[in-house]
Every structure is written in structure tokens, then in C-alpha cells.
Amino acid sequence: MPETTIKQKVRRSINLAILRYLPPCKEIVKIVSASFDRRLTFREKTILKLHLHACRPCMRYFEQSEFLSKATHHLDDKLKEEVFSGTLSAEARRRIKNTLLSAI
């Protein structure tokens, strides 16, 4: 058996063991969200790092959340207000209205 296959099997076994004893992905999502708002406890950091090492979907979620967090910090205050206020500009409303009317 090639050595890479053995390494892959060992890595997979370790990852499965890690995931078996850690909180499920739903709980990790909460920890990821909290990590952008406050400092995590030592326990939370450890659980998060271990879980992210073993779970690719959660790692991807973390990377995407981190990207969005950093991107929103770079927005200026006026743009933040527009983006998060829940209202559309007159131009955006006009484009949506025209698109909907053209679909009829």
C-alpha cells in the first residue's frame, strides 16, 4: 500500500475521532460568530481550532465569515448605513422595477 494512502487513512481516522468528541457543527457556527464579536475563552479557541482542522465545511464557513467581517470593517460609515439600513436607493428601486416589468 502506498505511503500517501496510509497517511490519508490515518489523517481521516484522526479527524473522525476529533469530530466524534467535539461539539457538532451547529455549535461551532456559534463559536465562529462569537469570535468576531469578542475574545474567545481558551476552551472555545481549542474546540474551534480542533474542529476546523477536522471539518472542511466549517473551515470554509470560518474563512467566508472572516472575509465578510474584514470587508465590512473597510466600508466607510455612509456606505455602512446604506447597506445595513434595509432601504434601497431610488436608482436601485428603478432598476428592480424595470426588470420586473420587462419580465411580464
Both 66 and 81 in one domain: the answer is: no
Both 64 and 85 in one domain: the answer is: no
pLDDT < 70 positions in the chain: 1-4, 83
Both 84 and 48 in one domain: the answer is: no
> Residue 2: its pLDDT value, please?
58
As a whole number of angstroms, the distance between CA 22 and CA 15 comes to 11
Both 47 and 81 in one domain: the answer is: no
Q: What is the pTM of this model?
A: 0.60
pLDDT in tens, 18-45: 777 788 889 999 999 999 899 999 999 9
Both 86 and 103 in one domain: the answer is: yes
Grid cell in block for residue 7: 497517511
Both 38 and 85 in one domain: the answer is: no
As a whole number of angstroms, the distance between CA 84 and CA 34 comes to 20
Tell me the DSSP string of 28-76. HHHHHHHHTTSPPPHHHHHHHHHHHHH-HHHHHHHHHHHHHHHHHHTS-
> Residue 64: its pLDDT value, please?
94
Residue span of the structural domain in which 82 resides = 77-104
Both 64 and 87 in one domain: the answer is: no
> Residue 3: its pLDDT value, please?
63
Both 59 and 81 in one domain: the answer is: no
State how many domains the chain has. 2
Both 38 and 59 in one domain: the answer is: yes
